[in-house]
Structure 1
Amino acid sequence: MTTPVLNERDRALLSGELGDGTAFAMRLVVRAAEVTGARRLIDVTRAHVDSCLYHGEATLDFVRRLADGHARVSVPTTLNVGAVDLLHPELNRGDPRVADRGRLLMDRYRALGARPTFTCAPYQLADVRPAVGEQVAWGESNAIAFCNSVLGARTNRYGDFIDIAAAITGRVPEAGLHLTEPRRATLVLRLADDVPETLRDADVLFPVLGIVLGRRAGSSVAVIDGLAHGQSEDRLKALGAAAASSGSVAMFHVVGSTPEAPSLDDALQHRAPGAVELIHLAELRAVR
């Protein structure tokens, strides 16, 4: 197991100079670095946190520990959806106690300094969208896929607890999709000749194609070839959301439409793919 090299600020956070809550968060980040084999940590400029969704008392226990240790987010941080509708609480038909606990959890994350956006599409907020190459720590599967693929920013899949730890420390392991080489497509998915041009330019194709992408790619990075260049963000959003649901896709390329794939060769980082697979019309119909 790799032990990451920590800088002076990292060590200060770890030692508790900024409070017990921040030290706790830093221990989580360092442990994540050890598990992923990262040699060092890097700064992130912003975070999107999914931990605000109530899954039981453990979620409240965790944020309470951070709050009791006086932790605060150190980078601009948005919040994913919570367990209750704050605008229409009267519509809740579930257990009122669960709704109350879910609302309390949302409040606790706001108290850490996070922005109460409560959206699974933070990229729709103009002042939240990261730039190409920007290092961020995002949770929420569809947002992660959009961030890496459509915006060209860099994030790994940050699940519950490690997402808020990154937001508090402003640090993440230098590993995975934060690096250039792992963003290389290893699988080429090409639309077969039996897929008609009318379907290739139809909105309905993209969520269906995303299901196929997720099933074929799993957690690897794939590039889709055979679509017209300059596809809209809405189409790419539908593609990525479906792929993140049917697989564990955190990044994909579409030749001529995503920032790191102006050409197929660019998406492959000028290397041979591991595999080239065709997607036939029958498979798309079966998914739909």
Structure 2
Amino acid sequence: MLLTEEETQMLNGNKGPAVKKAMEILVALGESFGAARLVPVNNVHMAGSSVLVAEEAGTRFVEDIRKQGGTFVTRVTTNPTAVDPTQWKDIGIPESDAVLQTRLTDAYADMGANTCNTCIPYLTGNSPRFGEHMAWGESSAVVYANSVCGARTNREGGPSGLASALTGRTPEYGFHLKENRYGKFLIKVEVPLSDMTDYGTLGYFAGKIAGQDTPVFTGIPTTPTLEELKALSAALAASGAVSMFHAVGVTPEAPTLEEAFGGGEPEKVLVFGQAEKEQAEAALNKEPTDHVDWILVGCPNASVQEIREVAEALEGKTVHKDITLWVTTAGAMYAMAERMGYIKTIEDAGGVVVRETCPFLARSRVIAPAKGYRTLTTNSAKMAFYAPGQFGLPTHYGNLQRVMNAAVAGVWR
């Protein structure tokens, strides 16, 4: 790769051992993908923020970088951790995780990260600009940033994100290049999309077909909510390895079908109609009985609007005594929802609002058997797709109303 004089000095160790190690990581990554150069970035979202991902070795690596004088030179936000900072013991998180998580989070904070600990950084002060080169981890956030915001990022892992934060650089390949951002195939949406769950179902359907390719959607309403686009992004990244989508007339790089495909033709054309929707929903419902015990809302982390909808659904009601209801969210969203009274409503009904973690990034294979959970019920296509394999929990999947009805009734109907 061609390096500038400043980048060469970084690689030679003129700016310290931490920056040298970071440049070695970026150069090796760039050369493996055929990048011609590095591009400046001032925005990193750190994927390796949970000790479920980092474990002891990764935590020590981050601590060593800090001890070597590592300082972040970009805006840095952090993904969810393995721990709710105030109620980790009550919800079943092991103490060993809480201790290790404190070490890892403190190391990131000492280097200058905003430890917001959420998968929705675009709602907590880190809002990408159109055309901005970034180095983001967290698959759902990457899809949202590329697609909805029109920013440019690949799916970064913990080490590459850390390296970018220390140097303000990332290799120029993949979705940093305009020619790699055009759509590959077309999906015609021919069924109404009514809520977040419908968008998640569409994302699950498309992701399974897409693999790493970029889908283009027509037929999506021109005024989807932030939450609906968030659900679509998350499901696309879960069932496939999608990093970007276009919705004609909705997302900024697809004002027309022609522009979405860069003037080319789609490699294939598919339809998402009522039959396809029902088949996708059935595939995400893995639990054949009506048994419900662990309910999850907030994957990706819930916005204030989502928390409000849960509170409204539970107003004057009580969560069934055999049910554990988690609503997972960011600390910033929690603070706003608490001020509005939504947290109190949920807690008075018997639900739990969990901050800074989620079942993916907490040790759910420990939590679930310790608490006696046998199923997981959710309105998130991403969660429904992953839970059977990652946590060993078959899922019930449906919209928020259906999920909240189950929380109160204690059975899935």
TM-score by length of 1: 0.93
Over the aligned positions, Cα root-mean-square deviation in angstroms equals 1.4
- Runs of 5+ unmatched residues, structure 1: none
The secondary structure found in structure 2 opposite 1:181 is helix
How far, CA to CA, are the matches of 2:203 and 2:3 in structure 1? Answer: 39
Corresponding residue of 1:242: 235
Over alpha carbons, which structure has the higher Rg?
Answer: 2
- The one-letter code sitting in structure 1 at the alignment partner of 2:255 is P
- After superposition, the C-alpha distances for 1:46-77 in whole angstroms (9 at most, x for unaligned) are 11101121132111121122112211111111
The secondary structure found in structure 2 opposite 1:188 is strand
Equivalence map 1:63-102=2 (5 Å): 63-102=62-101
Determine whether 1:17 maps to 2:14: yes
- The one-letter code sitting in structure 2 at the alignment partner of 1:112 is M
Corresponding residue of 1:26: 23
Kindly state the Cα deviation for residue 231 of structure 1 after the two structures are TM-superposed: 2.2
How far, CA to CA, are the matches of 2:226 and 2:58 in structure 1? Answer: 33
- The one-letter code sitting in structure 2 at the alignment partner of 1:234 is E
CA contact (8 A) 2:63 2:104 kept: no
Determine whether 1:146 maps to 2:144: yes
CA contact (8 A) 1:156 1:176 kept: yes
How far, CA to CA, are the matches of 1:97 and 1:87 in structure 2? Answer: 15
How far, CA to CA, are the matches of 2:32 and 2:238 in structure 1? Answer: 25
Q: Percent identity?
A: 35
CA contact (8 A) 2:59 2:104 kept: yes
The alpha-carbon distance between structure 1 residues 81 and 202, as it changes in their structure 2 partners (threshold 3 A), is closer
Determine whether 1:266 maps to 2:265: no
- The one-letter code sitting in structure 2 at the alignment partner of 1:158 is E
Which structure has more RCO (C-alpha within 8 Å, separation ≥ 6)? 1
- After superposition, the C-alpha distances for 1:117-140 in whole angstroms (9 at most, x for unaligned) are 111100112x41011101111111
Structure 1 runs of 4+ aligned residues shifted over 3 Å read 200-204
Corresponding residue of 2:49: 52
How far, CA to CA, are the matches of 2:148 and 2:187 in structure 1? Answer: 17
TM-score by length of 2: 0.65
The secondary structure found in structure 2 opposite 1:78 is strand
The alpha-carbon distance between structure 1 residues 88 and 243, as it changes in their structure 2 partners (threshold 3 A), is same
Corresponding residue of 1:170: 168
Determine whether 1:8 maps to 2:1: no
CA contact (8 A) 1:63 1:109 kept: yes
CA contact (8 A) 1:83 1:103 kept: no
How far, CA to CA, are the matches of 2:280 and 2:34 in structure 1? Answer: 37
Corresponding residue of 1:43: 40
Kindly state the Cα deviation for residue 201 of structure 1 after the two structures are TM-superposed: 4.2
How far, CA to CA, are the matches of 1:59 and 1:166 in structure 2? Answer: 17
Kindly state the Cα deviation for residue 94 of structure 1 after the two structures are TM-superposed: 3.5
The secondary structure found in structure 1 opposite 2:50 is coil
Corresponding residue of 1:286: 279
- Runs of 5+ unmatched residues, structure 2: 282-413
How far, CA to CA, are the matches of 1:200 and 1:88 in structure 2? Answer: 36
Kindly state the Cα deviation for residue 92 of structure 1 after the two structures are TM-superposed: 4.8
- After superposition, the C-alpha distances for 1:147-205 in whole angstroms (9 at most, x for unaligned) are 0000001100001211111111110111000110100001111124xx3xxx3344432
